[in-house]
Chains A and B, each alone.
Chain A
């Protein structure tokens, strides 16, 4: 057996390529959700750390969208898991169509989804959330659901700002809590932070500075 011939260079290269492919496959299994093809929870937390770190470095805020399909358990219970799965896949497809190429749509399990939106503010994520809601309203699930039946979604938003000294956990919790609040308030709606927080996120530093400039100064300038 010591005599066993050394593998030729070509054979080695082939084997290396095979291993590489296998690795890729394993990696994708590790980071994607099998049913929908979206990223999974493991990837989500990994990327969330990356993006919040990036925010700290660049100063560009990032946002998080938490989504939960309304009454999905009822669909599973009444129509069966096969149809439930089909709907989830369709929904994942919709998410992929709506988000920007730089965003990360993840399935958390069940009917819970999260979208990480790097370099975005609440206005932008609110827009995406609205488009997702609208797409469900117009979506036709007739092969699976009875005609005219619609699936709705509850959505919570959160924004991570470098100046806010927020932890990754509290960022995640904020989106999740807003989602819970949307559910509690009767589902099929979007919740974001409190208005006071919106104020701090909508108005940027330059604008804030301009707003707080004393009026006298402004009128003087205009006279010059």
Chain B
């Protein structure tokens, strides 16, 4: 186990592209390889990992922000085999946390030990809070699909992160595709635009096939990967997990 956990963020630019669904399944796939994984629900305005997993946490990141709890104390184990630092949903004011509080949460995450990988599930959009959590991660995983609005928002996110913060370490997961061929096409498309206008290449982490399994597992609060381990979707998540593991090995 590395002394310092690899910190990744899962982000999207646009909402509703399956960011959280991807996060918990990838985390579960990584956990299956005997890695210690922590998912932090950084979507402070509209947290929903707890809902997706059917957990009713007694303490959340909001308690940490207000100094009532330590980050370690709110972490719960999940059915997916990974740990979760939950957030409260529906607390509208939380989306615009004071800068100092974000900094505090960030440094607490940075100081956590005992994990191989920490995955930050950010909120949608390009708000200051989302950017801050993306900055904490050494690599940003962007979930995209083939919709133009989604591609444009993902590109906006990449451009802001690059131009404002000089970040160029992004990995792409293409969600809701009919085939791997389609995923590669979409990836090639957005990558060519990044190369042309920003001057760097993106990394390809994998794809997630379109399947009703996604909707079903969200409705039943189950983890698709564990619920249907033989499905193509589960295989997709295992592939993504393998790719992420290879980054960890290169992690200093």
Contacts and interface: CB of A to CB of B under 8 A. Distances in A.
Interface residues of A, number: 26
A203 B156 contact: yes
Q: Counting chain A CB atoms within 10 Å of each CB, which of B99, B125, B185 scores highest?
A: B99
Contacts of A202: 126, 156, 159-160
A224 interface: no
Contact of B126 (A189, A198, A210): A198
A185 B93 contact: yes
Which range holds the interface residue count of chain B? Answer: 20 to 34
Given A211-B151, A219-B188, A222-B188, A189 B197 contact: no
30 contacts: A126-B164, A133-B99, A185-B96, A186-B98, A188-B98, A188-B100, A189-B96, A189-B98, A189-B128, A191-B96, A195-B124, A195-B126, A199-B126, A199-B156, A202-B126, A202-B160, A203-B155, A207-B155, A207-B159, A207-B197, A210-B192, A211-B148, A211-B190, A215-B146, A215-B185, A218-B185, A218-B188, A218-B189, A218-B192, A219-B188
Interface string B123-136: 01111100000000
Given A123-B164, A210-B196, A203 B127 contact: no
Contacts of A133: 99
Contacts of A87: none
A208 B126 CA distance: 18
Q: Counting chain B CB atoms within 10 Å of each CB, which of A126, A207, A213, A218 scores highest?
A: A207
B186 interface: yes
A206 interface: yes
Nearest to B192: A218
Interface in B148-163: 148, 151-153, 155-156, 159-160, 163
Nearest to A190: B128
A91 to B, nearest CB: 18
A177 to B, nearest CB: 15
B167 to A, nearest CB: 13
A212 interface: yes
A207 B197 CA distance: 7
Contacts of A219: 185, 188
Interface in B87-120: 93, 96, 98-100
Nearest to A181: B96
Closest 4 CB pairs of A and B: A195-B125, A185-B96, A202-B156, A215-B185
Given A185-B93, A199-B126, A203-B155, 18 more contacts: A127-B164, A133-B99, A186-B93, A188-B99, A189-B96, A190-B128, A199-B153, A202-B160, A206-B197, A207-B155, A207-B159, A210-B196, A211-B148, A211-B151, A211-B193, A212-B148, A215-B188, A219-B185
Contacts of B96: 185-186, 189, 191
Q: Counting chain B CB atoms within 10 Å of each CB, which of A185, A191, A206 scores highest?
A: A185
A100 B234 CA distance: 53
B103 to A, nearest CB: 10
Contacts of B100: 188
A147 B127 CA distance: 33
Nearest to A213: B189
A126 B159 CA distance: 14
A199 B152 contact: yes
A195 B14 CA distance: 9
